[in-house]
Amino acid sequence: MIHFVLLISRQGKVRLTKWYSPYSQKERSKVIRELSSEILSRGPKLCNFVEWRGFKVVYKRYASLYFCICSDQDDNELETLSIIHHYVETLDRYFGSVCELDLIFNFHKAYFILDEILLAGEMQETSKRTTLRLIAAQEELLEAAKEEASSLSSIIAQATK
Amino acid sequence: MNPFSSGTRLRDMIRAIRASKTAAEERAVVRKECAAIRAAINENDQDYRHRNLAKLMFIHMLGYPTHFGQMECLKLIASPGFPEKRIGYLGLMLLLDERQEVLMLVTNSLKQDLNHTNQYIVGLALCALGNICSAEMARDLAPEVERLLQFRDPNIRKKAALCSIRIIKKVPDLAENFINSATALLREKHHGVLITGVQLCTDLCKISPEALEHVRKKCTDVLVRTLRDLANSPYSPEYDIAGITDPFLHIRLLKLLRVLGEGDADASDSMNDILAQVATKTESNKVAGNAILYECVQTIMSIEDNGGLRVLAINSLGRFLSNRDNNIRYVALNMLMKAVTADGQAVQRHRATILECVKDSDASIRKRALELVYVLVNETNVKPLAKELIDYLEVSENDFRGDLTAKICSIVSKFSPEKIWYIDQMLKVLSEAGNYVKDEVWHALIVVITNATELHGYTVRALYRAFQTSAEQESLVRVTVWCIGEYGDLLVNNVGMLDIEDPITVTESDAVDVLEIAIKRHESDLTTKAMALVALLKLSSRFPSCSERIKEIIVQFKGNLMLELQQRAIEFNSILAKHQNIRSTLVERMPVLDEATFIGRKAGSLPGAASTTTMPSVGIPNGEAKPAAPLIDLLDLSSDDAPAPSSSGGDLLHDLLGVDLSPAPQQSGAGQPSKSGTDVLLDLLSVGSPAQSSSSTVDILSSNTNGKSPVSPLDDISSLSLSSRANSNAGAAPMMDLLDGFGPSPSKENNGPVYPSITAYESSSLRLTFSFSKQPGNPETTNIQATFTNLSSTVYTDFVFQAAVPKFLQLHLDPASSNTLPAAGNGSVTQSLKVTNSQHGKKNLVMRIRIAYKLNGKDTLEEGQINNFPREL
């Protein structure tokens, strides 16, 4: 099971945190501090796994961002690495060659996409196409709601004219 | 209405935060935003609620407190529109966790949303439930989730399946409700539903044996077929990763098969073919392929034995190990670790490669490899492996040395074929990384050294040589100091020379040099210095020519700020000065320490030993310096070891201290109370205390003189090392304790049989000591003998002592022996108190005191509170 997902920039700034196990706010910031210093200090050629407090943290760097997933000791590390890659590819397709700025200004979208891939710390959907289709369908709902609201307000505006 | 389409303000805030040049500037921006959001919350602003929550989430990620926004999440979730709900649920998952009370308030909204007609809203609710639900929520909402497992849209079914995992983990009792609907999911075609169904079944099987039996019987064949179809499926772009169709599903299927095959020969049999196919056919040049292979190997090693498959699996691991990719090597090491128990021989074949991995530049790989080497060591390969590891110790990085040293020491002591080899290896480790060696390791080394009688000379000479080059390694210094103290004469006279040794010339003063260096180097901690003092005392009798010099060194420590060193120096000095006749017998060589007892002891006292290693120099002065400690230790020992066969006390002391002193100890050994402060031996043995005490003392002494008794070995060492605070068994070494007790401590005489006396109150003018005794059969009541001593040079008159206690205590004061307290300690006033503790065993005694007296006709009042009563009074 995955316990949490972290996105950390090379400067140590947090770009996304997703917790599947209960960590108090205090523990969360401690975990982030500990892990970012440990992971950011590792050299480029080393393996992508860090053993930490009886868990495994699998991380991978994409450009300026480190994607980290903390999972159980006996989980398949190589699979976790593939999950990270799968998420990154999905983001890439959604944003069209994603960069850190996309994830800063649209952080909520990064969360929504992650929520379509992982749930309860497990893999939910392995097809990127399905994931993106679901995201698109929900965005259509948003648009519809927006239009309804604007037409509603124009009706109100007309009525009160 | 849409939170973000018109939400330039969110962008603006993010821009402003990013534009901040300093942390202070960023804080200012955040503070301003938070203030605005709080204001909006107070006004119950509807229009911008979603946008405000989005901002709060960003602020939260930066690490600022955002608890005030939690209720906003609930309000958004309760609102009817999808956009509000979506952002509300996201906020809920980010800002809250399952332990917050607020979360309970959302249960009702969740229930409504799980029954919503819009499937995306149902999806949102399932997502939130799956990520943060608590046990109570799981119980409340399980029926809804169970129903959704049959929902028409597959995307809801898969979410419901993962939600169910969370629910059964939180409330395992609910597991059986899910068995049927979970197994139904295994027949689905939709990959999302299939993979989540497989995961749900895996977790069900782990939680409930009933589910395991059911799935094993009904679904093994289905799963095998699904895996075969998947492995043979043609290219499908939607699920393809590096030429493999849906590796995630592969892995989950293999994992579930592992659970089903474990401990069941039939199930294992039915999956053999497909496992063999996956193990041989899967491409191994990409991460995804290797992930499947890795999982497949794990399954093969776990299910019931099939020789051919295991060979196949270990061979693929061998290929993994020679891979250049660090990730692959890491998982190979990980997997070999599990394979060792199944097939140790096959893993041994890769020993050389594994050993190379110990020297890798990657800490994660090193750690795995070292652990693997550790389990691979046996009697036949211990010599080459230990040599490799010790050679590597010389060049290893500092942060790895602790682990490496611990493992080497453990290997060497576990498998050493002969003592001389063990001693050699340990000396190498001590010289290379003595600062990383744990206390119990060098304790064990000393035990081995004392047992290897014929190697005493060899060892002390080797240590002497090692000390010349590696005097900065603390534990090497300690062992050297100890051995020179014990076997210094063998060092100087080249006794017991082995053929392999180079001759060496060491004079008596060279040996003393070593001790002087050890005691004067400023990195030496208290333990080392104290050991050096003992060693010096021992040498003073063995090397008469250096006696004067040793005395000078010891004298320098008489004013040492460390109480322990000061006390030892003073005691030793007085032995050297006044008691020449007993010195040689006092410092005789230690009896051989018993290995078996030491090992037993070590096992019993490991937690304690761990705590002493972390703070040796802090703990000792407080713990050890109390005059009462040695006796307590003695008593502890006598209670948890079977008393050694005790002959008469007189004989024992006779043995211990030599013939010329026998009259005195015989008298004391009989336990006669004696107040004489001048008789050294009486003080030494604390015989002044009541009869009970002296009998315990006799037990201890008898066991020590035997030298083979259960008590002595470790205690001898630990008293030397002084790291004995946590080991309750400290301080039984015959010489040491005698000397500990020898200190000029006035309260010593008052030691009760069970409880140490305390200095209850002390000011510049007055000292009050309490000694305790209990009536047998009445544990609640304590008799306290209070002794007042006047520390000033003036007589106190009209002396009155008053005491007050809390309600759970009852206090009875007897009249004092006098109301005049003579000056300068020339006599004392005593007074008896009786305290009954109604909360005996739960609360400790505590007391407030007031002492009034006239000093030159002037009233004086002293007050204090006593909190340092021994526990269990």
Which among A29, A1, A110 has a CA at the least distance from the CA of B131?
A: A1
Q: What is the ipTM of this complex?
A: 0.93
List, for residues B540-599, the tens digit of each pLDDT value: 887 878 888 888 888 888 888 888 888 888 888 888 887 777 777 777 777 777 776 766
Taking an 8 Å cut-off on Cβ atoms, the answer to whether B248 and A83 are in contact is: yes
Strand partners of residue B853:
B860
The CA-atom distances, in angstroms, between B130 and each of A13, A17, A18, B188 are 27, 16, 13, 21
pTM recorded for the entire structure:
0.64
B730 pLDDT more than 70: no
- Which of B155, B195, B296 is the mutation pick for testing A, counting most A CBs within 10 A? B155
Query: Crossing angle for the helix pair B606-614 and B616-624, nearest 10 degrees?
Result: 110
User: B813: which 2 tokens?
Assistant: 């004061």
Which among B186, B185, B198, B180 has a CA at the least distance from the CA of B156?
A: B185
Give domain limits for chain B: 400-598, 755-866
- Which of B85, B330, B365, B371 is the mutation pick for testing A, counting most A CBs within 10 A? B330
The CA-atom distances, in angstroms, between A62 and each of A5, A89, B123, B286, B484 are 15, 11, 30, 18, 60
Superfamily of domain B755-866: Gamma-adaptin ear (GAE) domain (2.60.40.1230)
Q: β-strand B858-866 against A118-119: which pairing, if any? A: unpaired
Q: 3-class DSSP state for residue A2?
A: strand
DSSP state of A19: E
> Residues B472, B478, B479, CA angle at the centre, nearest 5°?
115
Q: Which residues of chain B from 479 to 498 reach within 8 Å of chain A, CB to CB?
A: none
Question: Is B57 an interface residue toward A (CB < 8 Å)?
Answer: yes
> Which residue of chain A is at minimal alpha-carbon distance from B361?
A46
- Out of A29, A83, A146, the one facing B2 most closely (by C-beta) is A146
How far apart, in whole angstroms, are the C-alpha atoms of residue B409 and residue B377?
12
User: B466: which 2 tokens?
Assistant: 């090692």
The owner of tokens 């005049």 is: B820
Which among B424, B435, B386, B380 has a CA at the least distance from the CA of B407?
A: B386
DSSP state of B71: H
Taking an 8 Å cut-off on Cβ atoms, the answer to whether A124 and B159 are in contact is: yes
B372 pLDDT more than 90: no
Q: Cβ distance B245 to B230 under 8 Å? A: yes
Residues of B in contact with A13 (CB under 8 A): 62
How far apart, in whole angstroms, are the C-alpha atoms of residue B763 and residue B863?
10
Determine the topology of domain B400-598 in CATH: Leucine-rich Repeat Variant (1.25.10)
- Out of B162, B195, B329, the one facing A126 most closely (by C-beta) is B195
> Which residue of chain A is at minimal alpha-carbon distance from B360?
A46
Using CB atoms within 10 Å of the CB of residue B37, give its burial: 0 to 12 exposed, 13 to 18 middle, 19+ buried.
Answer: buried
How far apart, in whole angstroms, are the C-alpha atoms of residue B132 and residue B216?
31
List, for residues B420-448, the tens digit of each pLDDT value: 888 888 888 888 887 888 888 888 888 88
The owner of tokens 């002494």 is: B701
DSSP state of B659: G
List, for residues B79-99, the tens digit of each pLDDT value: 888 888 999 999 998 888 767
Q: Cβ distance B434 to B467 under 8 Å? A: no
Which among B284, B361, B262 has a CA at the least distance from the CA of B328?
A: B284
**Which element (helix H / strand E) includes B796?**
strand B796-804
User: B345: which 2 tokens?
Assistant: 């021989």
How far apart, in whole angstroms, are the C-alpha atoms of residue B83 and residue B1?
8
Distance (Å) from the alpha carbon of A65 to chain B's nearest alpha carbon: 15
- Contacts of B573 by beta carbon, 8 Å cutoff, 6+ apart: B551, B554, B555, B558
pLDDT in tens, chain A (161 residues): 999 999 999 988 899 999 999 888 888 889 999 999 989 988 888 889 988 888 999 999 998 899 999 999 888 999 999 999 999 999 999 999 888 999 999 999 999 999 999 999 999 999 999 999 999 999 998 888 888 888 888 888 787 76
Taking an 8 Å cut-off on Cβ atoms, the answer to whether A14 and B63 are in contact is: yes
Distance (Å) from the alpha carbon of B253 to chain A's nearest alpha carbon: 13
Q: Count CA atoms within 13 Å of residue A6 on its CB side.
A: 27
- Out of A23, A85, A146, the one facing B97 most closely (by C-beta) is A23
How far apart, in whole angstroms, are the C-alpha atoms of residue B793 and residue B77?
82
Residues of B in contact with A137 (CB under 8 A): 120
User: A64: which 2 tokens?
Assistant: 């300026």
Taking an 8 Å cut-off on Cβ atoms, the answer to whether A20 and B367 are in contact is: no
Q: What percent of chain B has pLDDT over 70?
A: 81
Taking an 8 Å cut-off on Cβ atoms, the answer to whether B239 and A126 are in contact is: yes
